[in-house]
Structure 1
Amino acid sequence: MTQKIIFSESDDSDKEDDAIKPTDNLILVGHVEGDASILEVYVYNEEEESLYVHHDIFLPSFPLCVEHLNYEPKMPKGNYCAVGSMTPVIEVWDLDIMNVIEPSFTLGRPGSKKKKKEHIGHTDAVLALAWNKIYDHVIASGSVDQTVLLWDMEIKRPNTTIKSFTDKVQCLEWHPLEAQTLLAGGCDSSTRVFDCRAPETHQTWLLDGEAERICWNPLEPFTFLAGTSKGVVQCFDCRKGQLWAISAHSKEVTGLSVSKQCQGLLITSSTDETVKIWDFNLESEPKLVSEKEFNIGNVHCLDLCPDLPFVITAGGDKKSHNFTVFDIQNIDVVKHTFTPRGLIQLVPDTNESNST
């Protein structure tokens, strides 16, 4: 996420305390507590060993997915969060304003024959969002209505509708290098790769269960991984098909992250309450390096920090303790396995955020 001063609308707020330091990392967290749905912006500073909620936004509906982006039509680049919920309408909130009470803009609108309003967008809950960092005015959404929509946020309308799935679409990810290539997974036990210039023709691979999580391998651009409802993780090469499959967890895979900087580092999580760290390559099945329980209940989401390559975030459902940030180098076997490999230096990407 771009690091900048976040201004407060409150007169009694100390703006100095609101300042984001260059060494801070920001984490977006969708948090549900009772009837309250909250979008929280955490600040994590490794040097100061600090983690706290910088500010939060009360949402009108239960959040099912969140996606950081820097785009608002006819506005300078900023920090925004798109939120998919139980309603068909996608809300985009400005994270650079504290005490904000309404979204900056929305995508979608229910139709009304009586008011002669045209229906725009999905017809059911939005389960997945993926912002295109290359074409920054484009965001993809997947829904219970079995469609994928490609939105032109400049005009706030979808310019492409993909109807290839036969069940709910619940995970999406744009290719990191090819702006037109979209990876999508659905509850019809399939994952598909679309060239969005001609989405009617696409590649399809069957999974061992519903697609729960998908991700491109950032260091091998033709390959991707999928985690399923049966706890299986599968690796595919778009040119060759499936490379390997492992039974990674006893329950559904809820987190799947491949390091951009450390070759072979794969991290998974599950509602079996575990986070697992794997050493993998394309030729053979991954080797389990370490397994850890964070005492946060069923783990529902997990991500790697883009700036600190061994720091992870994980969110669970335990009321008393449901969120953690952890440096996996604190596990000796992980440190001894991956640290000697060195890190691949990347060009800083100011569009990135660590979101859970």
Structure 2
Amino acid sequence: MSDTEGADNANGELSIKEEYELWRKNCRYMYEFVSETALKWPSLTVQWLPDYTTEGDSGAYNCKLLLGTNTSGQETDYLKLALTTIPSGGVAGGANVNTRIKVIRKYENPLEINRARYMPQDPNSVATINGDGQVDIYDLNEEAGPLKTAFKFHTENGYGLSWNPHQKGYLLSASDDKTVVLTDIDSQKKVFQNSFHLDIVNDVQWHTQHTFGTASDDKYVCLFDIRVSSENPVSKLLNEDSKGVNTLLFSPFAKNLMALGNANSNISLVDLRHLDRHVHTMMGHSDLITCLEFLLHKDGVLALGSQDRRVMIWDLFKIGEEQQQEDAEDGCPELFMMHAGHTGPVMDLSWCPFNEWTLASVAEDNIVHLWQVGQTLLNSDTSVVVSNDVLE
């Protein structure tokens, strides 16, 4: 038994193994399907690709995902293209569908892949950023072989990566070297390099065709407009209690809503018109936030991953709802669901773009989870969080 598990048992808490076994026993209450695939090395990144085919008899989706490797220098690292089949709404409970992931192509990289994201205008063009801050562009049409393009504008490890959804080939990257770089992939040139932040830039995200946001360990969240200045933000927020801002994202439905994942484990909701104050702070995780993503099919639904091994789904429209005392003990009203199947810190997650309420998540435990929120939860009049004290 590990020291951590021993301490947990001494405090009357479940060990990681016991929590996992309890979660597996109760999956039927929360999911339409759950798939677990073990990898040789952990992936720090995951993203569904938008193209898919359907199987005639079952209606199931044949689809692909992007994964990476983090071998800690022990083996060659790769961007990986994986194939899987997931049930559609017409396949109850995922019957007769093998959801196990199969890696069909590997693309070599000098270091661990921290993030991999496809270009919206051309999903076969995939950008990665690695442990040295190098940005590489791959062509998924190629079976294997050399990179399409490599850019070495950063000098340290990087995680932030964002394609402009309106201007083809414009790619933002962010790094531990405190900089943000905009690269024009088509011309293979650096458009600018921003050095505003005083500490690690953890994330960067496009907001509109000309504006983007940055999140940093210096506790600042900044908004830039490249039509005005590439160096100075048009507005900024000092998130003093955050202990550093790890990730940010703009709502696809509400143009002035921004969500921030903080190192203090809290989630901040911010109105872009009033950056001097938070709209709301959500608390539920017990460790720093690593990733977040808004659901594309329904307004106000946000999934977050954390180093506490949890993925939590939040319904922002339930903020402020009254609760019974017994419900309040399981969490705030906006906490819709907790996915507790990972046994290591969650590193990335991705909502499926073509199958509603379906997520992929990856963690340091080397496991990829594919899962769909159960209809029992979706059709419930109230949010349901299955906590340890009510499980079998």
TM-score (norm 2): 0.71
Distance 1:192 1:281, change over 3 A: farther
User: Which runs of structure 2 are paired with 1:207-356 in the superposition (5 Å)?
Assistant: 207=239, 208-241=242-275, 242-281=278-317, 284=320, 287-319=334-366, 322-329=367-374, 332-336=376-380
Which residue is equivalent to 2:223?
193
Counterparts in 2 of 1:166 and 1:300: CA distance versus 1, 3 Å: same
Q: Is the 8 A contact 1:45 1:51 kept in 2?
A: yes
Task: State the 1:195 CA deviation.
Answer: 0.9
1:179 maps to amino acid: Q
Match 2:115 to one of 53, 65, 73: 65
Percent identical = 18
Q: How many correspondences in the alignment? A: 301
Please give the root-mean-square deviation of Cα atoms over the aligned residues, in Å: 2.5
Native 8 Å contact 2:124 2:140 kept in 1: yes
More deviation in 182-191 or 26-35? 26-35
Q: Which moved more, 1:40-49 or 1:153-162?
A: 40-49
Aligned-partner SS, 2:317:
coil
Q: Which has the higher contact order (CA 8 A, sep 6+)?
A: 2
1:56 aligns to 2:106 (yes or no): yes
Deviation at 1:221, TM superposition (A): 0.7
Residue 97 of structure 1, aligned match among 134, 137, 142 = 142
TM-score, reference length from structure 1: 0.77
State the shift of 1:172 in Å. 1.2
Q: Distance in 2 between matches of 1:269 and 1:287?
A: 16
Report the alpha carbon displacement of residue 219 of structure 1 after superposing the two structures with TM: 1.0
| Partners of 2:155 and 2:342 in 1: CA distance | 37
Offset of residue 51 of structure 1: 3.5
CA gap of 1:291–1:239, structure 2 versus 1, over 3 A, is same
Work out the CA distance in 1 between the residues paired with 2:123 and 2:315: 37
Deviations 1:239-290 (A, max 9, x none): 1232011223110112212212213322112111112122213974862122
User: 1:234 deviation in Å?
Assistant: 0.1
Cross-structure match for 2:14:
none
* Partner Cα distance (1:174, 1:205) in 2: 17
Q: CA offset at residue 79 of structure 1?
A: 0.4
SS of the residue corresponding to residue 252 of structure 2 reads: coil
Q: CA deviation at 1:93?
A: 1.4
SS in 1 for 2:313: strand
Match of 2:174 among 121, 136, 142: 142
Q: Does residue 1:184 correspond to 2:214, yes or no?
A: yes
Amino acid at match of 2:172: A
Q: Unmatched 5+ residue regions in structure 1?
A: 6-20, 72-76, 109-120, 340-356
Provide Cα deviations, 1:41-79, integer angstroms capped at 9, x if missing partner: 2223323443422322232211122221267xxxxx560
Give the aligned residue type for 1:314.
S
| AA partner of residue 58 (structure 1) | E
Q: Please tell me whether the aligned partners of residues 304 and 312 of structure 1 are also in contact (alpha carbons under 8 angstroms).
A: yes
8 Å contact from structure 1 (residues 255, 303) kept in 2? no
Partner secondary structure for residue 3 of structure 1: strand
Structure 2 gap segments, 5+ residues each: 1-48, 54-58, 88-96, 321-331, 384-392
3-state SS in 2 of match to 1:336: coil
Contact 1:298/1:316, CA 8 A, preserved across alignment:
yes
Please tell me the residue identity of whatever aligns with 1:103: L
| Distance change >3 Å, CA 124–CA 202, structure 1 → 2 | same
1:203 partnered with 2:249: no
Query: Comparing both structures, which one devotes a greater share of its residues to helix?
Result: 2
Alpha-carbon distance change, 282 to 181 in structure 1, aligned in 2, over 3 angstroms = farther
8 A contact 1:265–1:338 mirrored in 2 = no
